[in-house]
Amino acid sequence: MHTEYFSITIRAPTAATDRVVPREIAAPALACPRAPGDTSDLMPIGTDATTASDILAAGGVVAIPTETVYGLAASIAHPEAVARVFAIKGRPLGHPLIVHLARRADLPRYASVIPAGAQRLADAFWPGPLTMILPRTDAVPELVTGGAATVGLRMPDHPLTLDVIARTGAPIAAPSANRFGSVSPTTAAHVAADLGDDVDYILDGGPCNIGVESTIVEFADAGNARLLRPGGLAESDLQAVLGAPLGAAAADSAPAPGTLASHYATRAQVIACQPRDLHAVLTRTHGPVAVLTPHSSAGAVAAFAPAHTCVVADDNLAFARELYARLRELDATGVNTIVAVLPSPSGLGAAIIDRLLRAASPRPREMT
C-alpha cells in the first residue's frame, strides 16, 4: 500500500518552558508511525498555545490538556490529521471522536438540531465535562463521527485548550491521548509514556483537575435526554437543569466513546469489588496483588499484606481525580492483579464505578 507523507514546518516556540524544538515534523497523512527510518525529530513538550495551534492548523496532531483527561487532537479541517489520530491510537474507524468547540455560540454550526434541553445544558455546563450527542451538520466530516449522522460536541474547561481551539480556526476532534482501550492519561507525562514521538507536540497544562472523561448525554428524536456514559458531571446536576430524569441508553442510541464492555484497561487483571466483598476477594486472589481502596476500606486490607496498597480519599471528587494515575502506578509495579474497591455511587462515584467495571471486564482478543 502506498503511503503519502507530508511535512509541517513550524516556527520555534517562544515559551521558555518548551523542552524540545523541532525544525520540521514529518508524519504520515493516513498511517502511523512516521516514515521508516525517520528519527530526526524529537517529541516536543511545552506550554505554548501558539505552537500547538500552529501545528494543528497546519495538519498536525497535538496532545492537549482538558479538565477531564488529555486528548489527542486534530483539526476537523484536516481529514488526514483526523485519520492519523485513529492510527496513532489504534482506534477502529467506526468509533466516533468528540468534537471540541471554543465557544458556546458555535454549537448551531455543528449541530443541525438543538433541543431546548440541550441548549439549557450547554448554557449551564459549558465549558465543562459534558458531551452532547446531536444530529450533525455538513460542517462535521463523516470520518470524525465514524459515519454516524450524529456528533458528540463539548466545550472543554481548560484555558490553554480553549485558546488553542480559537487560534486554530476550527474545532478539534480529540479522543483520549492513549492507545485504544487502555488507561486514560491525566498528565503530559502519561501521554509521553503512552504515545512517545507519535504526536507532534504535547501541550502541558498540568494534571487534569477532574480526572475522568466527560459525561455523555444523547438527545433522541423527541428531544428526550439519555445518559450514555457517566463522567465528570454528576447525573443529579443534569437532572436539576432539565427538570426530568435522564433515560438510559437504548438499542437505537448513537455510538458513543468509552462505552465498550472492556475499556480503560491496565496490563494487570483488575478485580472490582464492593467493600463488603473485599475480604473474600483477597482471600482467593493469588500471586502479587495490589489494592486500590478508599480510606474507609483500608483497614480491611492490612491483614493480607498485599504487595502494594494505594489509599485514596473517600471523597469521590478526589478519588476521580486520582483514579487513572493510581491505576497506572499500581500497574507499573508489575503485580498480576489489582483489586479495586468500588466507592459509593454518589456524585462522581457513578463514573468511577463505570471505569473500574470496564477495566475489570474480559478483554477482546485484539486488545490483549
Question: Residue 135 has which C-alpha cell?
Answer: 444530529
Exposed, middle or buried, 59 (CB in 10 Å: 0-12/13-18/19+)?
buried
User: Using CA atoms, how far apart are residues 25 and 262, in angstroms rounded to an integer?
Assistant: 34
Are residues 188 and 105 part of one domain?
yes
Domain holding 277: CATH number?
Answer: 3.40.50.11030
Confidence at residue 5, expressed as pLDDT on a 0 to 100 scale: 31
Are residues 305 and 174 part of one domain?
no
Are residues 281 and 186 part of one domain?
no
In a domain, 211, yes or no: no
The domain boundary, picked from 174, 203, 232, lies at 203
Are residues 130 and 23 part of one domain?
yes
In a domain, 283, yes or no: yes
User: Using CA atoms, how far apart are residues 305 and 300, in angstroms rounded to an integer?
Assistant: 10
Give the domain range for residue 338. 269-367
Mean pLDDT per 10-residue segment, the chain (368 residues): 33 39 30 34 83 98 98 98 97 94 98 96 98 97 94 98 98 96 96 95 98 95 89 97 93 76 86 96 93 94 90 96 97 96 96 96 62
Are residues 125 and 25 part of one domain?
yes
The domain boundary, picked from 203, 236, 260, lies at 203
Are residues 275 and 189 part of one domain?
no
Tell me the one-letter amino acid at 268: A
Confidence at residue 113, expressed as pLDDT on a 0 to 100 scale: 95
In a domain, 250, yes or no: no
User: Using CA atoms, how far apart are residues 311 and 293, in angstroms rounded to an integer?
Assistant: 5
Are residues 198 and 79 part of one domain?
yes
Are residues 286 and 189 part of one domain?
no
Are residues 298 and 194 part of one domain?
no
Confidence at residue 261, expressed as pLDDT on a 0 to 100 scale: 65
Confidence at residue 258, expressed as pLDDT on a 0 to 100 scale: 67
Are residues 279 and 199 part of one domain?
no
Which residue do the cell numbers 440541550 mark?
Answer: 118
In a domain, 356, yes or no: yes
Our CA angle for 238, 187, 325, nearest 5°, is 80
Exposed, middle or buried, 189 (CB in 10 Å: 0-12/13-18/19+)?
middle
Question: Residue 150 has which C-alpha cell?
Answer: 450524529
In a domain, 298, yes or no: yes
User: How many distinct structural domains can be found in the chain?
Assistant: 2
Are residues 287 and 164 part of one domain?
no
The domain boundary, picked from 157, 174, 203, lies at 203
Domain holding 49: CATH number?
Answer: 3.90.870.10
In a domain, 239, yes or no: no
Confidence at residue 43, expressed as pLDDT on a 0 to 100 scale: 64
In a domain, 100, yes or no: yes
In a domain, 260, yes or no: no
Which residue do the cell numbers 485484539 mark?
Answer: 366
